[in-house]
Amino acid sequence: MEILLTITYTILFLFIIKKMRFFDIEGLSKRNISLIFLLKIVFGLMLWAIYTFYYTERCTSDIYKYFDDSEILFNTLWTNPFHFLKMLTGIGNNTPEFDQYYSEMHYWARKIDSNIYNDSHTIIRFNCLVRFFSLGYYNVHTVVICFVSLTGLTAIYKTFIPFLQDKKRELIFSIFLLPSVLFWGSGVLKEGLIFFALGLLIYYTNKLFTLKAIFICLVSGLILALSKFYVWLAICPSLLFMIWANRNNTKVFLKFVITFSAISIIGLNINSFTSIQNPLVTLSQKQIEFNKLATGNLTDANNNPIAVAKSAIKIKTLEPTIYSFLKNSPEAIINTTFRPYLWESRSPMMLIAGLENILILGFILLCIVFIKPLTEIRWEYVLFCISFVIIQFLIIGETTPIIGAIARYKVPALPFLMITFLFMLDKSKLLKRFPLLKKVLIQ
């Protein structure tokens, strides 16, 4: 039955891709979009197979722990519909009467209160909604998340293709076909929701000032904030800068400095005039939480010990001060950008991540060698992308002492890192130096 349902929903989404005007894109045919969708499903099934037959601890498996918790939430519909609606919406669901459900879930509740919304709730609720038509079969969820993720990635492509007309193939690879994006972005994980919300938010921000665009931006922004708050935190200043820069494409660097200086000053002092916790305190707490996770000092909701992370590393202690944050920043950027090193790869997935790092760094060096004249670069888009990447890399590197987690958490930033340097690449200069590449790179 699972195979039949999986095939049926795959065909349904292929039909939707064929009929939806959203997928009418210059430089990327619907046939190729459909092939990318099918490729994502293949990678989603690979992820399912790895966490089913290789990593067999279901209760700690990334793809199963939220899926299994969603079953407990879904079953509440039949025993107490009122409680089900409260937990699904998050309205009035934090009273003791709900502990009977949360105690059965492994990842609904945190063992450490870091004053941040628990984004595990979002993926659990997503899985719960999909259960209405999946009949509880996991790989139907795989097909759905692949389509959801594809929609967001397509929106990112549509945002940048007008400005990279001579680099269509390179843009397709940078957004859709990076190994980490294909792998982690095609599983029943938060990354699929992040790409969906992030793509729509960026695309419709460029179309702001229509009711449709404003509504989609508000909804996608909310989904992004509830799926992974630090990604929302990283994109907001970049979007504000982009809105300002697009109104009048002059004094781009000055606008960038003013935007980020103002947001930094407000953010670092937000606890002075609101009840919101200082972000440096929050980051410090997140590092403490991750250190406990890495060293096996946490348990799940049933008090079962969570195993020591196999790829744990030691990072500098982050104190809730600007000095400590800045002092730790070089190490944070290095860890997030370069790790895992090849010699740290203790599993096939880590090896692929290490090889991908080399591929991306090689591409960056190539773009720097064959860089456009500085006056021809669209700096507003370079600054938009690279600021988004750096903020994410800093947050991840400052708080995360687990290489495997670093390799996964940075996935939403990787397409934007590639796009940054696509804007800088002088393709004609590259092809003149290596004419054999014309068969591959010329559209």
- What mean pLDDT do residues 80-84 have? 91
- Look up residue 24 and give its two tokens: 């009418």
Distance between CA atoms of residues 418 and 177, nearest Å = 12
Same-domain pairing of 23 and 121: yes
Q: Is the pLDDT of residue 432 over 60?
A: yes
Same-domain pairing of 127 and 275: no
Four-point Cα dihedral 58, 36, 152, 141, nearest 10: -30
pLDDT for the residue numbered 127: 95
Q: Is the pLDDT of residue 442 over 80?
A: no
Distance between CA atoms of residues 77 and 74, nearest Å = 6
- What mean pLDDT do residues 336-365 have? 87
Last residue of a domain, one of 160, 192, 227: 227
Same-domain pairing of 13 and 158: yes
Same-domain pairing of 177 and 270: no
pLDDT for the residue numbered 404: 87
Q: Which residues of 311-349 are buried (b: 16+ CB within 10 A; e: fewer)?
A: bbeebeebbbeeebbeebeeebbebbbebbeeeebeeeb
What pLDDT digit, counting tens, does each position of 267-317 carry?
A: 888 888 888 888 999 899 899 888 887 776 666 555 666 667 778 888 999
Phi/psi region, residue 46 (left: phi>0; alpha: psi -120 to 50; beta: rest), is alpha
pLDDT for the residue numbered 273: 82
Distance between CA atoms of residues 383 and 373, nearest Å = 16
Q: Which of 331, 294, 326, 296 is nearest to 316 (CA)?
A: 331
State the pLDDT confidence band at 348, using cuts at 50, 70 and 90: confident
State the pLDDT confidence band at 349, using cuts at 50, 70 and 90: confident
Domain membership of residue 95 as a residue range: 1-227
User: Picking from 24-38, 113-127, 165-179, 296-310, which range would have the lowest pLDDT averaged per residue?
Assistant: 296-310
Percent of the chain topping pLDDT 90: 61
Q: Is the pLDDT of residue 238 over 60?
A: yes
Same-domain pairing of 150 and 208: yes
Is residue 270 in a domain?
Answer: yes
Is residue 232 in a domain?
Answer: no
Q: How far is CA 25 from the centre of its chain?
A: 23
State the pLDDT confidence band at 85, using cuts at 50, 70 and 90: very high
What pLDDT digit, counting tens, does each position of 375-411 carry?
A: 899 999 999 999 999 999 999 999 999 998 899 999 9
What pLDDT digit, counting tens, does each position of 34-48 carry?
A: 999 999 999 999 999
Same-domain pairing of 101 and 142: yes
Q: Which of 400, 368, 195, 391 is nearest to 289 (CA)?
A: 400
Q: Is the pLDDT of residue 113 over 50?
A: no
- What mean pLDDT do residues 229-250 have? 89
Q: Is the pLDDT of residue 55 over 80?
A: no
Same-domain pairing of 209 and 352: no
Helical residues (DSSP H) of 248-378, grouped into ranges: 252-268, 270-273, 279-294, 322-338, 348-369
Same-domain pairing of 193 and 328: no
- Look up residue 220 and give its two tokens: 């996608």
Distance between CA atoms of residues 380 and 293, nearest Å = 39
Distance between CA atoms of residues 85 and 73, nearest Å = 10
Is residue 234 in a domain?
Answer: no
Q: Is the pLDDT of residue 109 over 80?
A: no
- Look up residue 55 and give its two tokens: 């990593």
Q: Hey, is 315 helix, strand or coil?
A: coil
Is residue 126 in a domain?
Answer: yes
Same-domain pairing of 73 and 102: yes
Q: How far is CA 239 from the centre of its chain?
A: 16
Q: Which residue has the higher pLDDT, 435 or 76?
A: 76
- Please state, rounded to an integer, the average pLDDT across all residues of the chain: 89
Is residue 241 in a domain?
Answer: no
Q: How far is CA 119 from the centre of its chain?
A: 12
Is residue 235 in a domain?
Answer: no
Last residue of a domain, one of 227, 262, 293: 227
- What mean pLDDT do residues 121-130 have? 94
Give every CB contact of residue 283 below 8 A, 6+ residues apart in sequence: 318, 320, 325, 395, 398, 399
Is residue 253 in a domain?
Answer: yes
Q: How far is CA 377 from the centre of its chain?
A: 27
Same-domain pairing of 217 and 308: no
Same-domain pairing of 254 and 205: no
Q: How many domains does the chain have?
A: 2
pLDDT for the residue numbered 303: 64
Given the structure tokens 């930033």, which residue do they identify? 413
Is residue 242 in a domain?
Answer: no
Same-domain pairing of 56 and 193: yes
| Burial class of residue 282, CB neighbours in 10 A (0-12, 13-18, 19+) | buried
